[in-house]
Amino acid sequence: MRISTRCGWFVAAIFALALDNSTAHADVLDTIKARGTLIVGGKGDYKPFGFREPDGKIVGFAVDLAQDVADRLGVKLEIVPTTAANMLQFLQQDKVDVIIAAMNDTPERRKVVSIVDPGYFASGANVMIQKAAKVTTWEALKGKKICGIQGAFYNKPVQEKYGADLVAFPTTAAAYSALKGGNCVGLVYDDGNLAVQLQDPEWADYEMTLSSILEQPVVAAVRPGDDRFNKLLSDMVIAWHKSGRIVALEKRWFGRNSGWATGMHDKYK
């Protein structure tokens, strides 16, 4: 009888601990509101998602979305700059409440964090190319020298599927320099970064006319168990797509609208 009683107390204690943990997760929104600040893991050096102005203030595409969430909760916004190497750890260690940066949705990340569906952006590979080359299809890259970045996942299909003569460089800066120097007629890279570059008069003789390939959704993420927060964010992302908020911000920060963003707007409106 004594053993049975002790076992009963042990089971009750385990149940109470599990209930406490569940409650803690469920109350993350209450914690944010009580604190008066939404702490977002974002970017501070990746234009146009999040970057510092001369006065040090962090602005950008993802920052505007994070501000929308803070406004919805009636709290202030704090952006904690993160990198691809530490953003998941920051979330797991409670250093941030949510990731709204430039994080792609991958099966590996879904194993450790709670991904918010749908995505609010999508990034893919595209080519910034000399206007004089008059390239309008990926197939037209065959035999042309195209600058790229060593190790980029899209190098292989650009070479094997479309026949481009790819010249890979160790850094982004080196690739842009080579393009400017005439080593290549175009540069294959992340379409968002290329779109930003094309807003600079320095690249007035270049264009990006192709449809992006190998697109991957860019998503927000919260801790596993933060289901109320995930649902609120999911509803907000859908509302952003439906209202045209994403389309408008994409036009503002990237200087263009992607087929993905306009497609999501059409889907939800």
Q: How far apart are CA 13 and CA 199, in angstroms?
A: 61
**CB contact at 8 A, 157 and 214:** yes
Q: Has residue 256 been placed in a domain?
A: yes
pLDDT in tens, 57-86: 999 999 999 999 999 999 999 999 998 889
pLDDT in tens, 211-249: 899 988 999 999 999 999 999 999 999 999 999 999 999
Compute the C-alpha angle 198/202/204, nearest 5°. Answer: 60
**Facing residues of 83 across strands?**
none
Q: Has residue 1 been placed in a domain?
A: no
Same domain membership, residue 113 and residue 13: yes
Same domain membership, residue 70 and residue 41: yes
Same domain membership, residue 244 and residue 135: no
Same domain membership, residue 137 and residue 186: yes
pLDDT in tens, 3-24: 444 445 444 444 444 444 444 4
Q: Has residue 246 been placed in a domain?
A: yes
Same domain membership, residue 10 and residue 113: yes
Q: Could you list the residue range(s) of the whole structural domain that residue 86 is in?
A: 6-120+219-268
Q: How far apart are CA 166 and CA 161, in angstroms?
A: 12
Please compute the mean of the pLDDT values over residues 124-133 and round it to a whole number: 95
Same domain membership, residue 102 and residue 155: no
Same domain membership, residue 129 and residue 178: yes
Q: How far apart are CA 94 and CA 227, in angstroms?
A: 16
161 pLDDT more than 70: yes
The total of structural domains in the chain comes to 2
Nearest CA to 102 among 153, 52, 61, 68? 61
Same domain membership, residue 12 and residue 109: yes
Same domain membership, residue 259 and residue 140: no
Same domain membership, residue 100 and residue 142: no
Same domain membership, residue 165 and residue 103: no
Q: Has residue 153 been placed in a domain?
A: yes
**CB contact at 8 A, 86 and 55:** no
Q: Has residue 26 been placed in a domain?
A: yes
Longest dimension (CA), the chain: 89
Q: What amino acid is encoded at 119 in this protein?
A: G
- Domain with residue 132: its CATH number is 3.40.190.10
Same domain membership, residue 223 and residue 151: no
Q: How far apart are CA 77 and CA 75, in angstroms?
A: 7
Q: How far apart are CA 191 and CA 216, in angstroms?
A: 11
